Amino acid sequence: MGAPSNTSVAVSSRFALTVTMFAEADAVAPVCSWRALYGEQGWFLLTVKPIKNTTEVSCTLSVEKDPENGYIPFLVAFACLIAVALLYFLGLYVSKLHCTRVHCHCLQHKPTSIELNSAESPRPAEEKPKRRRLLSLDTFRGFSLTIMVFLNCGGGGYWFFEHAAWNGLTIADLVMPWFVFIIGTSVALAFHAMMKRGVSRIQLLRKLTWRTVILLLMGLCFLNYGPRDGPLSWSWARIPGVLQRLGFTYFILALIETFFCLKDLDRYQFGYWWAPLRDIVLYWPEWVIMVILETLWLCLTFLLPVPGCPRGYLGPGGIGDDGKYPNCTGGAAGYIDKLVLGEDHIYRYPTCKELYKTTQPFDPEGILGTINSILMAFFGLQAGKIILMYRQQPLSILKRFLNWAVLLGIISAILTKCTQNEGFIPINKNLWSLSFVTTLSCFSFVLLGIMFYVIDVKNWWGGQPFIFPGMNSILIYVASSLLSTYFPFNWEMKFPNSHAEPLFQNLLGTSLWVLVAYLLYRKKFFLKI
């Protein structure tokens, strides 16, 4: 055992730790072993000593300082937010009740966005129907953006507000795919409206090209590096990024829609045997393109030879897989990025770096993953087409949303075998794996369907406060990213090792950006590109 000695180590409170003790460095059998999850800020004393007159060893674990319950600040904050929401809805109810008793005219029926397009809506024959904005889409966008701002602020230091180390899902992994899904839905609605107004396909092409260029420039110029990188150097500047991914995704999807968007959809409602599936049949060329793109992703991912790595490798490299493939982080996806962009121009701090001790750079917004990002946006495009095709039938829209959610959920279950690591294609945000896309698209159909029913069909909720950042999403995202290290969004904390102060700081910063979005909404200032 050697001479008595003491040593101190810090262990993660996120994962359970397995401790195994051996009497000698080359011993085969351990003298003691156990697995436990250690609480935050706790002090634990492990005493290992030989038992007198025997060859056995005793291992004793004692608690020197009880760990803290780090979830209490989160639960308190969550309860406060729920209380504020309940008070808000109670205020709305009381206001409507008062309006009913005192001013009956306040209860005149307000047609929904679906009803406004209905032939049964009473209006003068010469008056054109006034179309309302789809508020549920703005609310969904704002909901995703608000969570994204909170996560970028720090998420209170909780592990579930950080990206998964490799396979699996956390809350942080949800928001960008939702945003991509919303891009697709917005493209469907916007392009159809422009076609109805007589905008030519050449004009659409110019518009989508301009938007793409602006997104790429914003990503490269403003959000390409952080304070830990120091002054920007072109020798190591990161080329991919969030806005770059959104820009390329938008460009490809909008380009496809420019060529195959249909102006008159009502003529296909009846008289065709395939009319119940017209939201798919009418756009069969787009589906063919998506099948080709996804086939390309599958072939590159599972068939492309990667030097020093097995075909189809989807692991993190490093010490993962017992350290067999330390330089294979991301398999084909990582290899393509390094081959095309160069190691110096992709992300140097992948989420797998800490846990799996990886040494290779890997970019979660890389080239290969963009294909599945386009697929995610395409499912959003499909949601938009369902809304357009069945705009006079809200129940049909909800049924189709549910059907898509169930179908995509089943596909996800098959691909993952309902496990984190043992499936054919595990859920992985870094790779933007196929199962990741189908799972998040399933969630998106459910969330958009719920918001559509509550906001646009029943008018039970106006989408506040999420609708405010949702209508100024680019401005809020870029501004919050650029000013994230400045007061009052950030300050030097007195208790950085607890969750209470970081959570307060991050919630305050997020609330301030929602307030900014509200003030811009009141001023009717909306940044569009």
Amino acid making up residue 77 = A
Beta-bridge partners for 405: none
**324 and 242 in a common domain:** yes
**86 and 49 in a common domain:** no
Distance of alpha carbon 467 from alpha carbon 473, whole angstroms: 10
Domain housing 27: 17-65
**127 and 97 in a common domain:** no
Distance of alpha carbon 103 from alpha carbon 97, whole angstroms: 10
428-462 pLDDT, tens digit each: 999 999 999 999 999 999 999 999 999 999 988 88
Looking at residue 123, its pLDDT comes to: 45
Residue 320 lies in a domain: yes
**127 and 82 in a common domain:** no
Task: Report yes or no: 147 and 181 within 8 Å, Cβ to Cβ.
Answer: no
More confidently predicted of 4 and 485: 485
pLDDT for residue 120 is more than 70:
no
pLDDT for residue 267 is more than 80:
no
Helical pair 175-196 and 242-260, crossing angle rounded to 10 deg: 30
pLDDT for residue 107 is more than 60:
no
Distance of alpha carbon 278 from alpha carbon 271, whole angstroms: 11
Looking at residue 113, its pLDDT comes to: 42
More confidently predicted of 98 and 329: 329
User: What is the domain count for the chain?
Assistant: 3
Looking at residue 119, its pLDDT comes to: 37
Amino acid making up residue 417 = K
Residue 290 lies in a domain: yes
Single pTM value for the model: 0.88
Q: Which residues contact 49 (CB under 8 A, 6 or more apart)?
A: 1, 57, 58
Record the tokens describing residue 302, joined without a space: 């599972």
Distance of alpha carbon 67 from alpha carbon 63, whole angstroms: 9
Residue 351 lies in a domain: yes
Looking at residue 7, its pLDDT comes to: 79
More confidently predicted of 1 and 113: 1
DSSP string, 317-386: -TTGGGGT-TT-TTTHHHHHHHHHT-GGGS-S--THHHHH---S---TT-HHHHHHHHHHHHHHHHHHHH
pLDDT for residue 125 is more than 90:
no
Averaged pLDDT for residues 325-332: 94
**375 and 242 in a common domain:** yes
Nearest alpha-carbon partner for 333 in 352, 354, 355: 352
Which of 103, 105, 109, 163 does the annotation list as catalytic? 163
Q: Which residues contact 68 (CB under 8 A, 6 or more apart)?
A: 39, 40, 41, 42, 498
Confidence bin at 327 (pLDDT 50/70/90): very high
**60 and 136 in a common domain:** no
Mean pLDDT across the chain: 86
Residue 2 lies in a domain: no
Residue 1 lies in a domain: no
Residue 195 lies in a domain: yes
**25 and 139 in a common domain:** no
**502 and 394 in a common domain:** yes
Distance of alpha carbon 293 from alpha carbon 84, whole angstroms: 46
**313 and 298 in a common domain:** yes
pLDDT for residue 108 is more than 60:
no
Nearest alpha-carbon partner for 186 in 381, 374, 372: 381
241-250 pLDDT, tens digit each: 999 999 999 9
Residue 527 lies in a domain: no
Record the tokens describing residue 505, joined without a space: 């700081």
Confidence bin at 32 (pLDDT 50/70/90): confident
- Tell me, what DSSP letter sits at residue 266? G
pLDDT for residue 383 is more than 80:
yes
Give the number of other CB atoms < 10 A from CB of residue 307: 7
Catalytic residue list contains 163: yes
Confidence bin at 103 (pLDDT 50/70/90): low
Looking at residue 225, its pLDDT comes to: 58
Task: Report yes or no: 332 and 299 within 8 Å, Cβ to Cβ.
Answer: no
- Tell me, what DSSP letter sits at residue 198? T
Confidence bin at 1 (pLDDT 50/70/90): low
Q: Which of 119-133, 139-153, 264-278 has the lowest mean pLDDT?
A: 119-133
pLDDT for residue 282 is more than 80:
yes
- Tell me, what DSSP letter sits at residue 40? B
Confidence bin at 266 (pLDDT 50/70/90): low
pLDDT for residue 42 is more than 80:
yes
**281 and 232 in a common domain:** yes
**138 and 76 in a common domain:** no
Q: What percent of the chain has pLDDT over 70?
A: 88
Q: Which of 283-292, 407-416, 483-492 has the lowest mean pLDDT?
A: 483-492
- Tell me, what DSSP letter sits at residue 157? G
Q: Which residues contact 400 (CB under 8 A, 6 or more apart)?
A: 279, 386, 390
Task: Report yes or no: 327 and 360 within 8 Å, Cβ to Cβ.
Answer: yes
Nearest alpha-carbon partner for 144 in 177, 186, 175: 175
Residue 7 lies in a domain: no
pLDDT for residue 258 is more than 50:
yes
Q: What percent of the chain has pLDDT over 90?
A: 56
Confidence bin at 144 (pLDDT 50/70/90): very high
**425 and 337 in a common domain:** yes
